[in-house]
Structure 1
Amino acid sequence: MESLIKPDETWLLWAFLAAWAAFSIYLEQKYKWASKVSGAIIALVGAMILANLNIIPTASPVYDAVWVYVIPLAIPLLLFQANLKKIWNESGKLLIIFLISSIGTVAGVTVAFITLKDYIPVLDKIGAVMTGSYIGGGVNFAALAAKFETPGEMVSAATVADNFLMAIYFFVLIAIPSISFFRNKFKTPYIDQVEKNGTNEGETQSSAYWKRKDISLKDIAFALGSSFVIVAVSFKLAQVFNGWIPSEETGNTFHVILDGIFGDKYLMLTTITVLLVTFFHRFFERINGAQELGTYLIYLFFVVIGVPASLPLLIEAAPLLLVFVAIIVLGNMVITFFFGRLFKFNLEEMILASNANVGGPTTAAAMAVSRGWTDLIAPIMLVGTLGYIIGNYIGSFMGYWFQSMM
């Protein structure tokens, strides 16, 4: 059956993508129920419903444009604060527990893959995507899904399972400070301070974090202009390296790994952006609005990945994928809290580190704001941003490893 909006009706489809992404953000910041569900899930589910009702098409060159152009532009914008020296100097303690939590993700995804690889199609690709996603959030999900050319319907099914489990886990993390077992077993200095001073009411997590900022035309010009240049240079360099390294001709393992590092356009994009931001941090730190622009572009991605979601496929594949991501989250949680307790980290630091792994730095910062842990907002944002970097590399490594096991 043909959809109401045809695949070649470019402006109507772009209008839908842009408007629905904006409306999802509005709901997330306006209503507490939407903030708990997350704008990402609202964006995805809305697109999925409209596609299954044949209002919008399940495939279109417009959606391809989001994968080819929008996602690469979003990655540098979200990395403009990823100054490696600043992350280490200002957030050393949180960085350690964040890296421990990342090990939990890797352990969880390894167990989940070995357990379910014979039951879920293309699980090597999904495993790579979920590794990156549960170390750095949605931007890594997008980059790795594109890198490994994961089938759109499986990306949609994985996203539904991922976001459903992620929402449940966020509820768990929010509830943990109220559970007496955790209060008795872990140090909670920030919670104690909030209870002493009282808390603010009336703001959602999202609106608390995304405060209005001063932004100029120059900020927008520098943010978008820099992102375009970085993407163009990175992709061209990756293309050059890909031509130089004879990985396919020789079949040599070293050449394959070398091509996977230097010939991969998304890893090259991440590397060049981080190097520029680290060595020219004053320029990038002065650009207001880059994170907001990058986040909006990622919301366009969330809308697009909901579009090809076939309900029969979701009913068939999502339950097993839900088990898959549940094992990953459980691995992350167990490792984070076990070693956090062993090394005497504060409960708040463990909660935010695990949140930053599973949901990315913005969700962790939003949780810190909503709980009143103001001294942890900037550090977890910095540390969580590191997940954008290492998640891409670790996800790529896990993907190649999983491919060898299929």
Structure 2
Amino acid sequence: MDSVLTLFLLLTIPVLLKVFEKTKLVSTLSPIAIAYALGILLSFSPLNFNLDHIRYTSEISITLSICLFVLASNLSKFKVLLKPVLKSFVLGIISLIGAILLTFYLIDFEGLEKNKILGMLVGVYVGGTPNLNAIGYALGVTNETLVIVNTAEMLLGGAYFFLLITLVKPILSLFLPKFKSANLITNSCYDTYTTTSYRDKITMIILALLASILILILSYGLVQFLFGATNVPALLISLTTLSVLLSPISIIKRIEYKFEVADFLLLVFSLGIGMQININSLITNGLAIYILVSCVFFGTLLIHFFLAWITKTDVDTLLISSTAALYGPAFIAPVAKSINNRELIIYGIALGLLGYILGNYLGLGFYWILNELIKP
């Protein structure tokens, strides 16, 4: 009975969040934040959950999710990347690396999984939340650390996003040149769906799941063949690489709703992680992690602004490329609207999708680099 209840909640709550995600309450608070919060509340309930089922479901969900996010990132879209926008995005990654290294050398907390957290932050600030969670899972961070890092990133990101759509452009315009219109492409970078019937939509969702499961099986087999055992970081790299290689195949491209299924699986993962937390660890390590995330977040912004000033990057290009890195493709349109620049929307979305692919490689890569730096 415990297993049935556990699986029922893990699937039903994310379904409800997807159904109501466009309502004012859910969209304002963020479905992922609500999933974490509900998971934490359930962890305090007197109900007996099957923790093994929660852990396995969470692990499978995040793995399939990152696979589908990459499959949904059609590589043909990246040909639209304009040189100034791509240059600013690269400057953003350089800024992140600088902030990571400064934080690594200047800030230290005893008993904190600092290198793992910094690797996760590289993933999220190049890609997005799926990368953060996938890297955290691959590196074996505690559930409490995962929840706190996600919460800190959401709170800081939410606060800055409000400033981004209100005050940041007027302030930066005092120091940076204005955007010069070049009649760029303004059509949407998102896929348009042709499936309309309920039955066909269900079929597409099943096909998306089957495609991701097949890639997971192939990745697992490859890792077993190469290492003779399950190596989770290697599995994540293998999964990402196979997804990138298979995404242009016509049969994969014809499968619709890959992004939506990936988003649903991310909610399942978020709920499951919340249900597994230990409140004592949450309180003990909370402040240190908030400080670490804050240093990386604001350090990245300040360095990026400084590099933009040196390279004379225009303010609109800076804000769109920064949004693509820090927030992902979903936030490009609101920012473009707030700065009154539709021309850069497709370029920002393409960068955000590219970030999903790069995030895993860079996040895991920097974790290994930081580990090498602390060796005597």
TM-score category (smaller protein): 0.7 to 0.9
1:26-41 to 2 correspondence within 5 Å? 28-31=21-24, 34-41=26-33
Output the CA distance in 1 between the equivalents of 2:204 and 2:18. Answer: 22
Counterpart amino acid of 2:291?
V
1:286 matches 2:254: yes
Q: Does the aligned pair in 2 maintain the 1:37–1:167 contact within 8 Å?
A: no
Is the aligned partner of 1:229 residue 2:214? yes
Match of 1:238 among 223, 226, 229: 223
Q: Percent identity?
A: 23
Is residue 276 of structure 1 aligned with residue 246 of structure 2? yes
Kept in 1: contact 2:325–2:351 (CA 8 A)? no
> Are 1:19 and 2:12 matched, yes or no?
yes
1:265 correspondence with 2:235: yes
Alignment-derived partner of residue 143 in structure 2: 152
1:348 aligns with 2:316: yes
Partner of 2:41: 49
Does residue 1:64 correspond to 2:55, yes or no? yes
Q: Within 5 Å, which residues of 2 pair with 1:86-101? A: 86-101=77-92
Matched position secondary structure for 1:375: coil
Matches within 5 A, 1:204-215: 213-215=193-195
Report the equivalent of 1:220.
Answer: 205
What is the distance in 1 between the residues matched to 2:340 and 2:7? 38
Say which SS state the counterpart of residue 247 (structure 2) adopts: helix
Mapped to 1, the partners of 2:245 and 2:120 lie a distance apart of: 24
Give the secondary structure class of the aligned counterpart of 1:345. coil
- Is 2:290 the counterpart of 1:322? yes
- How far apart are residue 12 of structure 1 and its match? 1.8
Match of 1:376 among 332, 344, 355: 344
Question: Aligned partners of 1:171, 1:373: CA distance in 2, in Å?
Answer: 18
Mapped to 2, the partners of 1:400 and 1:389 lie a distance apart of 18
Q: CA RMSD in A?
A: 3.2
Q: How far apart are 1:101 and its partner, in Å?
A: 1.0
Residue type at the aligned position of 1:148: L
Q: Which residue of 2 aligns with 1:183?
A: 173
CA distance in 2, matches of 1:371, 1:301: 34
Write out per-residue CA displacement over residues 192-228 of structure 1, whole angstroms, 9 at most, x where no aligned residue: x9xxxxxxxxxxxxxxx99994433553344222212
Q: Which residue, 356, 359, 368 being the options, matches 2:327?
A: 359
Listed as ranges, the matches of 1:134-145 within 5 Å are: 134-145=125-136
Amino acid at match of 1:74: S
Cα 1:352–1:45 change in 2 (3 A) is farther
344-353 or 181-190, larger mean C-alpha shift: 181-190
Greater shift, 365-374 or 131-140, is seen at 365-374
Alignment of 1:121-136 (within 5 A): 121-136=112-127
Query: Which residue of the partner structure matches residue 186 of structure 2?
Result: none
Equivalent residues of 1:239, 1:265 under 8 A apart: no
Aligned-pair CA distance for 1:168: 1.7
Indicate the residue corresponding to 1:249 in structure 2: none
Partner of 2:365: 397
Cα distance in 2 for partners of 1:122, 1:168 equals 25
CA distance in 2, matches of 1:228, 1:91: 35
Higher helix share: 1
AA partner of residue 71 (structure 1): I
Residue 251 of structure 1: aligned partner = none
3-state secondary structure, aligned to 2:228: helix
Q: Distance in 1 between matches of 2:40 and 2:134?
A: 21
Q: Is the 8 A contact 2:103 2:292 kept in 1?
A: yes
Tell me the CA shift for residue 372 of structure 1.
6.1
Distance (Å, rounded) in 1 between the aligned partners of 2:11 and 2:317: 36
Judging changes above 3 Å, is the alpha-carbon distance between structure 1 residues 329 and 362 closer, same or farther for their aligned structure 2 residues? Answer: same
Q: Flag the 1:62–1:95 CA change in 2: closer, same or farther, 3 A.
A: farther
Tell me how many residue pairs correspond in the alignment. 364
**Residue type of the partner of 1:229?**
L
**Which segments of 5 or more consecutive residues in structure 2 lack a partner in the other structure?**
184-188
Please list the CA deviations of residues 226-285 of structure 1 after superposition, one character each: whole Å capped at 9, or x if unmatched. 2121111122112211139xxxxxxxxxxxxxx989x8010011111112224x3x4443
One of 134, 152, 155 as aligned partner of 1:164: 155
* 1:370, distance to aligned residue in structure 2 (A): 6.9
In structure 2, the partner of 1:108 is 99
Deviates more, 1:17-26 or 1:382-391: 17-26
CA distance in 2, matches of 1:239, 1:111: 37
Query: How many angstroms does 1:26 deviate by?
Result: 5.0
Cα 1:180–1:173 shift into 2, 3 Å: closer
- 1:119 paired with 2:89, answer no
Task: State the Cα distance separating 1:369 from its structure 2 match.
Answer: 5.9
**Contact (CA 8 Å) 1:219, 1:288: kept in 2 or not?**
yes
Which one-letter code corresponds to 1:138 in the other structure?
T
